[in-house]
């Protein structure tokens, strides 16, 4: 077996190890940070939550790459190869790749991790195929309304949705259009068009797919919080467009009442529950100001980058030592 | 309700259904003349499309002389309603994700008392904003 397989084996295990550590820290810290996040403007909150969702996978990958940095610099001839100095343990090195570990535990770990990735990829591929068919069926059964740039679905159900991953289209049922006043329809359109501009479905897809390393209970909370932030961000856009926050709140309650009266041929219960209360209550308050924090983000990013490069050697040796202990 | 779970429909299947919704009934040759010829599709393709729609229980058929006469067993609106219901049903189980966003949550309902409370809160805020209207 190629010795580069050993490198892949350790790289994969190291990535998941770092990701798992980040997920645990995240689980401990999020309840404390959540209280501060709630007061931020929804658009800003949704961005931060997306980054939070991606953090374990991103940090896992980043730290693993950093572990390889000393040997990468040696490969480029920037620094001297140090492997000969430490020949008593396993090397996380591109020049002297470690031999693959051929024991039951490491194989079991790799099979489990590989299985998780395959299952996630399979589920999302299936979801994408279903979404594509649903989108196609809706397109075929609806008529384009060029005045509002929407697709009107001739259906006895009440319906107001945006479908599509990158290019979203708004579908509204004819029955809902007949019931809503022109101003209420403006609220719905402004809200749905905001989803389309913000690429919220893509945001949800990326967040859901790449958050696999989070602890499941925290992942559910983060996704629910991000979805709520996206809805509130679109409510804010509608409120600005109509220039009446209370009217938007009224419209949400009005449409929720209509949906409650709609007879569905089965019990409709969602695991996340309805977020109407939070959305309406947020519209009753003054809008939270969007505080541009680009300088803070750049500063934090720069500090993290410098700290990461400064700790490259330590990270590299500690990881080697841990793997050395595990494979002894 | 449709007798079976609606399956994904192709563009040609939908075009055939659209044609039969207008004409009410038709045989393979008639459908081919209206739908197939302009698309450069053979009579065999139209026949197999009609057969598929029959198997999906979206068409009825009866034998007249040597050919089948097809008619829709569901109306347009009924089919679309079933499509939407399928999606809501999947979402309500929390098992799937259709890459969509809805103005109000598709599959979760707020209870009446919550909605009453929210309406009261909105009315209260409106009254606070316009104290003149109170008196």
Encode pLDDT of A123-162 as tens digits.
888 878 877 877 887 888 788 988 888 899 888 778 888 8
**What pLDDT is attached to residue A165?**
78
Q: How many CB atoms lie within 10 A of CB A143?
A: 10
In the prediction, which pLDDT does A86 show? 63
- At residue A271, the pLDDT reads 33
Q: What is d(CA B80, CA B86) in angstroms, rounded to the nearest whole number?
A: 10
Tally of domains in chain A: 1
In three-state form (DSSP H/G/I as H, E/B as E, the rest C), the secondary structure along chain A is CCHHHHHHHHHHHHHHHHHHHHHHHHHHHHHHHHHHHHCCCHHHHHHHHHHHHHHHHHHHHHHHHHHHHHHHHHHHCCCCCCCCCCCCCCCCCCCCCCCCCCCHHHHHHHHHHHHHHHHHHHHHHHHHHHHHHHHHHHHHHEEEECCCCEEEECCCCCCEEEECCCCCEEEEEHHHHHHCCHHHHHHHHHHHHHHHHHCHHHHHHHHHHCCCCCCHHHHHHHHHHHHHHHHHHHHHHHHHHHCCHHHHHHHHHHHHHHHHHCCCCCCCCCCCCCCHHHHHHHHHCCCCCCCCCHHHHHHHHHHHHHHHHHCHHHHHHHHHHHHHHHHC
Residue ranges of A 9-38 with Cβ closer than 8 A to chain B = none
pLDDT in tens, A100-117: 767 777 778 778 888 888
Q: What is the pLDDT of residue B85?
A: 75
CA distance A227 to A325: 43
pLDDT of residue A281: 93
Residue position matching structure tokens 């920037």: A78
Minimum-distance CB partner of A253 among B9, B98, B119: B119
Task: List the end-to-end C-alpha distance of chain A, in Å, as a whole number.
Answer: 20
Query: Which residue in chain B is spatially nearest to A264 when comparing CA positions?
Result: B85
Considering only the beta carbons, identify the residue of A131, A273, A280 that sits closest to B98. A131
Structural contact between residues A112 and A11, judged by C-beta atoms closer than 8 angstroms: no
Give the H/E segment covering residue B101: strand B100-102
**Inter-chain touch A264–B98, beta carbons under 8 Å:** no
Q: What is the pLDDT of residue A87?
A: 60
Tokens matching residue B111 = 């209870």
How does DSSP classify residue B116? Answer: H
Distances (CA, A) of A318 to A61, A89, A91, A314, B115: 17, 11, 11, 6, 56
- Residue A262 scores a pLDDT above 80: no
Best B75, B92, B94, B99 member to test A by mutation, with max A CBs in 10 Å, is: B99
Instruction: Count other C-beta atoms under 10 Å from residue A321's C-beta.
Output: 13
| Nearest-CB residue to A280 (from B9, B105, B118) | B118
C-beta of residue B69 within 8 angstroms of C-beta of residue B26: yes
Q: Which residue has the higher pLDDT, A75 or B12?
A: B12
Q: A171 forms bridges with which residues in the sheet?
A: A151, A161
Residue closest to A119 by CA, chosen among A15, A219, A209: A209
The reply to whether residue B129 touches residue A246, judged by beta carbons under 8 angstroms, is yes
Tell me whether residues B99 and A267 touch, CB distance under 8 A: no
Nearest by CB: A137 against B83, B108, B118:
B83
Angular region, A188: left φ>0, alpha ψ -120 to 50, beta rest? alpha
CA-nearest of A219, A9, A198, A217 to A97 is A9
| CA dihedral sign, ordered A34, A36, A41, A46 | negative
Of A264, A267, A284, nearest to B121 by CB-CB distance is: A284
Pull the structure tokens for residue B19: 């044609």
CA angle A115, A26, A93 (to 5 degrees): 60
| Range A34-42 average pLDDT | 90
Q: Has domain B1-97 been given CATH number 1.10.10.10?
A: yes
The pLDDT tens digits of the residues spanning A158-205 come to: 888 888 877 888 888 888 889 999 999 999 999 988 988 898 888 988
Q: In this model, does residue A223 exceed pLDDT 70?
A: yes
Q: Cβ neighbours of residue A314 under 8 Å, at least 6 residues apart?
A: none
pLDDT at residue A266, as a whole number: 41
Nearest neighbour of B109 by CB, restricted to A136, A153, A268: A268
Q: Please list every residue in chain A whose beta carbon sits closer than 8 Å to the beta carbon of residue B105.
A: 270, 272, 274-276
Report pLDDT for A94: 78
- Nearest CB partner across the interface for B87, out of A134, A136, A192: A134
Q: How far apart are CA A213 and CA A18, in angstroms?
A: 10
Q: What gap in Å lies between CA B135 and CA B122, rounded to an integer?
A: 18
Chain A residues near residue B76 by CB distance under 8 angstroms: 141, 154
Residues in contact with A138: Cβ distance below 8 Å, sequence separation at least 6, in sequence order: A151, A153, A163, A169, A171, B83
Radius of gyration over alpha carbons of chain A, in Å?
25
Interface check A263 vs B, CB under 8 A? no
Name the residue among A227, A198, A261 with its Cα closest to residue B105: A227
Residue with tokens 């610099």: A73
**How far apart, in whole angstroms, are the C-alpha atoms of residue A46 and residue A229?**
5
Task: Name the minimum distance, in Å, from the CA of A230 to any CA of chain B.
Answer: 10
- Specify whether the CB–CB gap between A190 and A237 falls below 8 A: yes
Of B91 and A65, which is predicted with more confidence? A65
Interface subset of A 117-156, CB within 8 angstroms of B: 127-128, 130-131, 133-138, 140-141, 153-156
A270 has a pLDDT exceeding 60: no
Domain ranges of chain B: 1-97
Distance CA A164, CA A186 (A): 21
Q: Which residue has the higher pLDDT, A78 or B116?
A: B116
Whether A206 has its CB under 8 Å from any CB of chain B: the answer is: no
Residues of chain B in contact with residue A278, where contact means CB-CB under 8 angstroms, are none
The mean of the pLDDT values for chain A is 83
- Tell me what the mean pLDDT of segment A34-40 comes to: 90
Partner-chain residue, chosen from B11, B118, B122, that has the shortest CB–CB distance to A140: B11
ipTM score over 0.90, yes or no: no
Asked whether the beta carbons of A148 and B21 are under 8 A apart, the reply is no
Kindly determine whether residue A276 and residue B99, on different chains, have CB atoms separated by under 8 Å.
no
pLDDT category at A273 given cuts 50, 70, 90 is very low
Q: Which residues of A22-53 are buried (b: 16+ CB within 10 A; e: fewer)?
A: bbeebeeebeeeeeeeeebbbbbbbbbbbebb
Cβ contact, residue pair A137, B9, below 8 Å: yes
**Residues spanned by the domain of A263:** 3-327
Query: Residue A220: its chain B contacts at CB < 8 A?
Result: none
Q: Note whether A271 contacts B: Cβ–Cβ < 8 A.
A: yes
Name the stretches of chain B with pLDDT < 50.
1-5, 134-135
In chain B, which residues touch A (CB < 8 A)?
1, 8-9, 11, 14, 76-77, 79-81, 83-85, 87-92, 94, 96-110, 112, 114-115, 118-119, 121-122, 125-126, 129
């Amino acid at each position: 077996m190629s010795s580069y397989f050993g490198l892949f084996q350790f790289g994969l295990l190291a990535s998941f190890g770092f990701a798992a550590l980040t997920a645990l820290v995240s689980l401990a810290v999020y309840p404390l940070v959540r209280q501060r996040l709630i007061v931020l403007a929804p658009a800003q909150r949704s961005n931060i939550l997306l980054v939070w969702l991606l953090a374990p996978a991103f940090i896992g990958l980043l730290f693993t790459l950093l572990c390889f940095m000393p040997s990468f610099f040696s490969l480029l001839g920037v620094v001297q190869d140090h492997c000969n100095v430490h020949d008593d343990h396993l090397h996380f090195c591109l020049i002297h790749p470690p031999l693959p570990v051929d024991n039951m535990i490491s194989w079991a770990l790799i099979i489990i991790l590989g299985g998780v990735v395959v299952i996630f990829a399979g589920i999302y591929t299936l979801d994408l195929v279903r979404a594509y068919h649903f989108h196609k069926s809706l397109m075929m059964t609806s008529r384009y309304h060029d005045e509002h740039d929407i697709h009107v679905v001739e259906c006895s159900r009440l319906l107001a949705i945006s479908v599509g991953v990158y290019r979203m289209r708004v579908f509204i049922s004819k029955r809902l259009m007949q019931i809503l006043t022109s101003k209420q329809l403006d609220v719905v359109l402004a809200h749905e068009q905001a989803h389309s501009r913000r690429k919220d479905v893509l945001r949800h897809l990326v967040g859901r797919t790449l958050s696999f390393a989070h602890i499941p209970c925290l992942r559910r909370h983060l996704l629910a919080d991000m979805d709520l932030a996206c809805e509130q961000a679109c409510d804010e856009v509608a409120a600005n467009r109509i220039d009446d926050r209370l009217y938007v709140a009224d419209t949400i309650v009005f449409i929720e009442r209509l949906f409650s009266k709609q007879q569905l041929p089965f019990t409709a219960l969602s695991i996340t529950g309805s977020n109407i209360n939070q959305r309406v209550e947020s519209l009753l308050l003054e809008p939270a100001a969007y505080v541009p924090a680009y300088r803070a983000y750049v500063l934090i990013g720069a500090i993290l980058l410098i700290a990461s490069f400064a700790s490259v050697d330590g990270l590299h040796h500690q990881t080697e030592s841990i793997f050395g202990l595990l494979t002894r | 309700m449709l007798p079976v779970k609606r399956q994904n429909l192709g563009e040609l299947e939908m075009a055939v259904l659209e044609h039969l919704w207008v004409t009410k009934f038709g045989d393979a040759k008639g459908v081919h003349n209206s739908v197939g010829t302009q698309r450069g599709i053979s009579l065999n393709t139209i026949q197999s499309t009609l057969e598929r729609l029959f198997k999906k229980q979206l068409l009825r058929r009866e034998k007249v002389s040597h050919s089948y006469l097809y008619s829709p067993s569901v109306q347009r609106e009924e089919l679309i309603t079933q499509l939407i219901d399928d999606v809501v049903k999947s979402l309500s189980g929390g098992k799937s994700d259709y890459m969509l966003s809805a103005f109000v949550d598709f599959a979760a309902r707020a209870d009446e008392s919550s909605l009453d409370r929210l309406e009261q809160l909105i009315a209260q805020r409106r009254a606070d904003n316009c104290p003149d209207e109170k008196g």
